[in-house]
Amino acid sequence: MCLLSIMMGGSMQRYMVDYAWIFIIAGICTFIELVRLYKSEETKNIMRKLLGIITIYIVFVNLFSGIVSEKSYMMDNSPEEYFKLKYSIDFWE
């Protein structure tokens, strides 16, 4: 509920920097404990793959939301660097 409130309140970028790491660490600890509790190697492998996918997703979401939140600041102060970053990520434009 707390995460939904943060995401819907328009202050997601700030709270992702302040509190996201706490949720990420708690989630990773939960997954590690679940992997430890399961007896089947097949289930453990599925959980490890799922943890890897979720971790990569979280890293990209945090990275891109940080870029989006600083877009106007970067555009005003360093337009050359902004456009280099923009076209390296958004290459189809």
How far apart are alpha carbons 71 and 83 in whole angstroms?
10
pLDDT for position 66: 65
Residues 24-47 pLDDT 10s: 788 888 888 888 888 888 888 888
Ramachandran assignment for 10, one of left (phi > 0), alpha (psi -120 to 50 degrees), beta (any other): left
Inform me whether the pLDDT recorded for 6 exceeds 60: no
Cβ neighbours around 16 below 10 Å, total: 20
Domain housing 26: 2-89
Total structural domains in the chain? 1
